[in-house]
Structure 1
Amino acid sequence: MSSHEALTDQTMERIEDLIRDRRHATATDTRELTALLAQPPIQDIIALVERSPVVRAAVVLRLLSRKRSIEVFDALDAAHQADLIGALQHEDVVDFFGELDPDDRVSLLDELPAEIADKLLSNLDASERDITGIVLGYPRGSVGRRMSPEVPLVHPDMTVAQATEYLRDVAHDVETIYTLPITTRDRRLVGVCSLRQLFTAAQDTKIEALMEYAVRANAHEDAEETARWFLPLDFLAMPVVDDSERLVGILTWDDAQDIVEEADTEDTARSGGHEPLAQPYLATPLLKVVRSRIVWLLVLALSALLTVHVLDTFEGTLAKAVVLSLFIPLLTGTGGNTGNQAATTVTRALALGDVRKSDVLAVMWRELRVGLILGSLLGVLGFVLATVVYGLPIGIVIGSTLLAVCMMSATVGGAMPILAKAVGADPAVFSNPFISTFCDATGLIIYFLIAKSVLGI
């Protein structure tokens, strides 16, 4: 570790000690804390705020310089910002809110109670309020809700010299100048030009000679789907248009990356059986963590009653061949794992656009064959081991059940995310927890039916 890193670590430890002891802090401690907060890199301060309870995080923001505190606040998730609003002084909140970009401002407003949101909007100047209102006018989950409406208006009949002079004047008031949408005087999008092209062209060159076809998105399109096809193109930004092809904003690469990261976080959480926290773990109030999990636990507990009912139905079969109970964990675990593997794979393929809703039959047929191969391999292994220990009839039951369960679980696991998307539900919701429960119950039914047939009980 370098001396600079060691110094930073010692500084951060001292900062955390002073924050924890704020109740007994003296004026000297406050001055020391203010001085120490100016030393570490900005990323360390952001991490400190994310790891701290709301009240302590608010203290940090108040003691930072105005510029530094705004940078830290801007880097936080919208849900975390919303929690901090109540702990900050009114003038701090107004400053932070006013410095946010319009799209980030709207994300924060979505997390706040209506009365607080209205109060914050009323403190904006008229121009900022109008710009924010443009973004608020689009539906949640749409590209328009995540775009920035602050874009330069460069026209085809401008020369490079005119465009450069114009960009110099508006550079601080727009989201980006590195990707330039080219529009007619009535804002109709006709092309796009990069800043590199502008700087390398002769001053008297017309913009129309430099512009290229503009890959664009409609403001009403789904934000996640748009972000997923936009990111692989490696563009810095993309124009956003309305139904009349008029420019209404721009979607930057980093905003698209945020959209995808939020969607992936949500899918990961739901596939694991809980709601996403939407803010750093250590900064999340305890009751919010409980709420994110309890509903799913109750749903899964109720659905598990189906498995109990199946066992109760075949209680007589178990009583006649007790050895069958030994293999229940193996068979239910194999079915659940096979279904989860298929569901996870297909959910990811849906997110990337590799699979569409119309591909449900092709996916089911593909997963059926995958399940057949996996089931054959596991079935042969189960047949050999069960036969050696418990005899040929039990070996046949275990081998046959593993084959059937793998085929069923893979097929169902592959189909469920697509069916969920078709009815407008989140594919991740139909993933691991529900598939495990479904495969447990149906796997046991298959198991006992095969056992009754083979063993004659």
Structure 2
Amino acid sequence: MTDVNALERILRSDEDVPPERAAELSAMLDQPPIRDVVRLVERSTATRAAVVLRLLSRRRSIQVFDALDAAHQADLIDALGDRAVYEFFAELDPDDRVSLLDELPAEIAERFMRTLDDSERDITGVVLGYPRGSIGRRMSPEVPHIYEDMSVDETLEKLRLVADDVETIYTLPIISRDRLLVGVTSLRKLFTAEGSAGVAELMDEPVFAGAHDDAEETARWFLPLDILAMPIIDESGRLVGMLTFDDAVDIVEEADSEDAARSGAHEPLQQPYLSTSLFRVVRSRIVWLLVLAVSALLTVQVLGAFEDTLAAAVVLSLFIPLLTGTGGNTGNQAATTVTRALALGDVRPRDVLSVAWRELRVGMLLGALLGAIGFILASLVFGLDIGIVIGSTLFLVCTMSATVGGVMPIIAKKVGADPAVFSNPFISTLSDATGLVVYFLIAKSVMGL
């Protein structure tokens, strides 16, 4: 068995493979499991990845290209050359083809579409016709047409003819002659039924989604049902495609990766880290850093406004990192929890008051516990006045931060923004500024500054 790490070292040392070594490397690349070759491509630059794809056999190169993220596929286009790319593009499933087209400039996408034959262009056009973010954009339009008046034998014969051309044959939608969805059945039921039986006798009530439904929401409620696929219908109830389990998993993984990235104050890379250019990594982070740097000026303004208070009691400056850190962490915990609950459908925008009330009480309990500890420790070291200031501030900061952190993602959802964008980075800054205002106001009142 070929050592993929050894292959990686060879390719790294010599990206321009000499002709006399091409056959040797090609044979070596055909030996490892396909997952190892995919990992090798994901860890490589576009130039080196293109070399690997060219050295692979046609079947394995198509498998590897299909396994890559759409953004990574787009990066490889220039390195691969038109002939290879057109071949890979034609072999993709229509939904994967559309994902790649979404990553490309309009003129290149149009050129790619012209390379398809009429039938493939029409099928791809069906998926392209639905708006981005809809489940219609992620479905497979290649579905066997099984009519309710067909027999089991007729159905099985039809499946044998179209099995290579459709996305799945394990979950089968049943339609009327005018393509209205009437039920679903499974290949297992067909195999175990009498050949003369009608498929209408074997069908169950269908679980389905509308083509214009939100892709992430649809995928999240579909996955826990533990079914292999479900029909997608248009506004008239006609069958237009199927959503498979693996496509739903991809949708949820993409959404979770995006939320995790934005919660950490950067944009998602959308492809493996080592194959992402330095420019793209910088671009994914710089905007957020600039936004946070500007918003952090609020904290500087607060400190400037209470400069006299700090000068009168320098000891107050020692606790600023503790208070701002506690407030930011409390708000981030609440925001992360509620953002996840929104994604799973456990919380809806209309639940904003319930969430606010719940997080208010959680924040009060957390603040009471942390405040009590802060009061005791600060009083023992710095005196009773400082203990009261620290204990009271921790209580109020935790209460405010938890409430704001819980509500902000819901507000974002309600106005059509990404909840993850409104959560951790902005909440940290807001908690810092408001927490310091509360801190200095309490200090001035308690200590008479």
Shared fold, TM over 0.5 = yes
| Residue number in structure 2 paired with 1:4 | none
Cα separation, 1, equivalents of 2:282 and 2:71: 16
**SS of aligned partner of 1:52:** coil
Per-residue CA deviation, residues 366-408 of structure 1 (Å, 9 max, x unaligned), is 0000001100000000000000011111100000000000000
Amino acid in the other structure paired with 1:252 = T
- Contact 1:178/1:236, CA 8 A, preserved across alignment: yes
Amino acid in the other structure paired with 1:401 = T
| Residue number in structure 2 paired with 1:332 | 324
TM norm structure 2: 0.99
Cα separation, 1, equivalents of 2:218 and 2:15: 49
Cα separation, 1, equivalents of 2:307 and 2:14: 63
- Answering whether residue 380 of structure 2 is matched by residue 380 of structure 1, we say no
Q: How does 1:94-105 map to 2 (within 5 A)?
A: 94-105=86-97
**SS of aligned partner of 1:275:** coil
**SS of aligned partner of 2:274:** coil
Deviation at 1:25, TM superposition (A): 4.2
Q: How does 1:132-281 map to 2 (within 5 A)?
A: 132-281=124-273
| Residue number in structure 1 paired with 2:123 | 131
| Residue number in structure 2 paired with 1:108 | 100
**Cα distance change, pair 24–67 in 1 and its aligned pair in 2 (3 A):** closer
Cα separation, 1, equivalents of 2:63 and 2:21: 24
Cα separation, 2, equivalents of 1:378 and 1:440: 17
**SS of aligned partner of 1:450:** helix
- Contact 2:135/2:210, CA 8 A, preserved across alignment: yes
- Answering whether residue 406 of structure 2 is matched by residue 417 of structure 1, we say no
Q: How does 1:31-70 map to 2 (within 5 A)?
A: 31-70=23-62
Per-residue CA deviation, residues 404-435 of structure 1 (Å, 9 max, x unaligned), is 00000000000000000000000000111110
Amino acid in the other structure paired with 2:447 = L
| Residue number in structure 2 paired with 1:400 | 392
Deviation at 1:437, TM superposition (A): 0.4
- Answering whether residue 351 of structure 2 is matched by residue 359 of structure 1, we say yes
TM norm structure 1: 0.97
Amino acid in the other structure paired with 1:47 = R
Amino acid in the other structure paired with 1:274 = H
- Contact 2:15/2:47, CA 8 A, preserved across alignment: no
**Cα distance change, pair 100–25 in 1 and its aligned pair in 2 (3 A):** closer
**SS of aligned partner of 1:182:** strand
State the percentage of identical aligned residues: 71
Cα separation, 2, equivalents of 1:269 and 1:23: 32
| 5+ long unaligned stretches in structure 1 | 1-6
Per-residue CA deviation, residues 325-345 of structure 1 (Å, 9 max, x unaligned), is 000000000000000000000
- Contact 2:15/2:48, CA 8 A, preserved across alignment: no
Deviation at 1:135, TM superposition (A): 0.3
Which one of the candidate residues 432, 438, 447 is aligned to 2:439? 447
Amino acid in the other structure paired with 2:119 = S
- Contact 1:239/1:251, CA 8 A, preserved across alignment: yes
Amino acid in the other structure paired with 1:415 = V
Cα separation, 2, equivalents of 1:78 and 1:62: 19
Deviation at 1:91, TM superposition (A): 1.2
| Residue number in structure 1 paired with 2:309 | 317
**Cα distance change, pair 24–138 in 1 and its aligned pair in 2 (3 A):** closer
**SS of aligned partner of 1:282:** helix
How many pairs were matched up?
Answer: 449
- Contact 2:335/2:424, CA 8 A, preserved across alignment: yes
Deviation at 1:23, TM superposition (A): 5.4
Deviation at 1:32, TM superposition (A): 1.5
**Cα distance change, pair 24–205 in 1 and its aligned pair in 2 (3 A):** closer
